[in-house]
Chain A
Amino acid sequence: MIDALWGWPPPVLDPAGPYSGKVTTLAWSLFGLGAFVTLVVVFALWVAIKGPDKWKAKLGGERAILLGGVAFPGVVLTALLVWGLTLTASLTEPIHGDEMRIRVTGEMWWFRVQYLDPSGAVVMEDANEIHIPVGRPVVLELESADVIHSFWVPHLSGKKDMIPGRRTLLRIEADRPGEFGGVCAEYCGRQHALMGFVAVAHEDDDFREWYAERNERLVSAGLDITRQVESSSGSGTQGSERSTVTRTGAGANTNSGQQSGRTLFMQSGCAACHRVAGTEANGLAGPDLTHVGSRRTLGAGILPNNRGTLIGWIGDSQSLKPGNRMPSYDMLNADELEAIAIWLEQQK
């Protein structure tokens, strides 16, 4: 995410959708007008210092003051104000009300992401990653769990504050596929600077495929519980778990290394804060980890997501993001950390 925000052109000048396009047009207009006014002022300065006496007299006259000092700024600034406010308002209201809706909740210091069905019920939970289809407006319901945050994907739309006790709306839309970095744009505490996310825009088919995959995972996760109870014959999920055991068993000599990552996850207290659909892990305080293995980043858009960074985060999150609410699990040994990381990698 951090990388996605670097480089040239800066995201604010590189709109990837109609809403951010409007914001960029406004920004360039402000810049152009500002440049024009600067030139006029410099010219007036030249007249005042070096210009012909006749021009000097005109510049100091009442007419020049009224025109240049009152009428011009009055008209231009009013027009810009109306333009800016209308534009801002246009970003906050749904067009038809039947757009895809995603609820994003700012928490210190990460983003909870919930995909909603038309009735407003949560159908899928994720964190720090928002998937949207290209070419369709998406309405975001922005909320906060603690302090004021601000939601900003400069490529896709304007900024919108996330205010405790209120729900604000923001529309975003992408007109090309890609990964767009997002940040919290309102100082919200010690790790404000490390509070980010990624917005991923998919082509329509791609998006449907992604959604179907997620759905399948949820269904199979749901079935997983029944299978465990009803039969011991191999299902997809159990198969992968067996391979986890083999994998960690091979690399580890300690007793705990023989345990599967899943068991360790449940026994070490991870499940108290994290939910993994289809397992007994149902904690709601931290990010939902049902799909953590498919995420592009860890720690709220700040680290790449691979086995190494998973281990580093679980074992030592306080060195990486001091003060964040996940304690460093430094009571686990290397084999245990790796086993948990391997299990989490499989949670797509």
Chain B
Amino acid sequence: MGMGSVEHRNWKAIVAGVALAACAALAACKDPVETRREPAIGPKDRGLIAIKRAGCGSCHEIPGLDWPSGRLGPSLDGFDDVGLIAGQLPNRPDVLAAFIRNAPSVKEGSSMPPMPISEAEAADIAAYLYGLDHD
């Protein structure tokens, strides 16, 4: 009797397992290409994407980016607490965005080269570094 109920429960578990596997298989069959786009991503997410695309990590340690983590330039951890950008410019979002995009144009002789990013991307990266969200 007892054996019977155990078997019964096992049987139920098997059915549940198979049903689960079937659901997973069905879900995987749905064409995910169209639905892949994440619903709404904010400036911070876009900032991290731009950081990866431009390769900022080649010279900077950046929070939230495991790799690359270059040490040629300063770490960008906790950027909202930094006093002066590159020791010279006021640490404001607009200045930071301009600096990220074309450092030598706002700080003469800056060793950070102009980067191939758009103004919007630069603003997103600044937002990411501050941990801000302007939405």
Q: What residues of chain A have their CB less than 8 Å away from a CB belonging to chain B?
A: 3, 7-9, 35, 42, 45-46, 49-50, 251-253, 298, 302-304, 306-309, 311-313, 315-316, 319-320, 330, 334-335, 337-338, 341
Contact = CB atoms under 8 A, between A and B. Distances in A.
Given A49-B7, A50-B11, A42 B55 contact: no
Given A49-B10, A316-B71, A338-B111, A309 B55 contact: yes
A50 B70 CA distance: 63
A328 to B, nearest CB: 8
B14 A42 contact: yes
Contact of B113 (A7, A8, A9, A338): A338
Interface residues of B, number: 30
B111 A312 contact: no
Contacts of B114: 307
Nearest to A7: B36
B131 interface: no
B69 A306 contact: no
Nearest to A50: B11
Given A251-B104, A308-B113, A303 B68 contact: yes
A304 B121 CA distance: 16
Nearest to B52: A3
29 contacts: A3-B52, A8-B36, A9-B33, A35-B25, A42-B14, A42-B18, A46-B14, A50-B11, A251-B104, A298-B55, A303-B55, A303-B58, A303-B68, A306-B55, A306-B116, A307-B113, A307-B114, A308-B115, A309-B58, A311-B59, A311-B72, A312-B68, A315-B59, A316-B70, A316-B72, A320-B68, A337-B111, A338-B113, A341-B113
B92 interface: no
Nearest to A341: B113
Interface of B: 7, 10-11, 14, 18, 25, 32-33, 36, 52-56, 58-59, 68-73, 104, 109, 111-116
A188 B85 CA distance: 42
Nearest to B104: A251
The B contact surface, by secondary structure, is: loop
Contacts of A311: 58-59, 72, 113
The A contact surface, by secondary structure, is: helix
A319 B72 contact: yes
A315 B111 CA distance: 12
B33 A320 contact: no
Give the one of B73, B111, B114 with max A CB within 10 A. B111
B109 A315 contact: no
A343 to B, nearest CB: 13
Contact of A334 (B68, B111, B115): B111
A315 B68 CA distance: 14
Given A42-B18, A45-B14, A319-B69, A308 B55 contact: yes
Contact of A308 (B7, B10, B54): B54
Nearest to B33: A8
A306 B59 CA distance: 12
Contacts of B116: 306
B55 A304 contact: yes
Contacts of B7: 49-50
Contacts of A308: 54-56, 58-59, 112-113, 115
B82 to A, nearest CB: 19
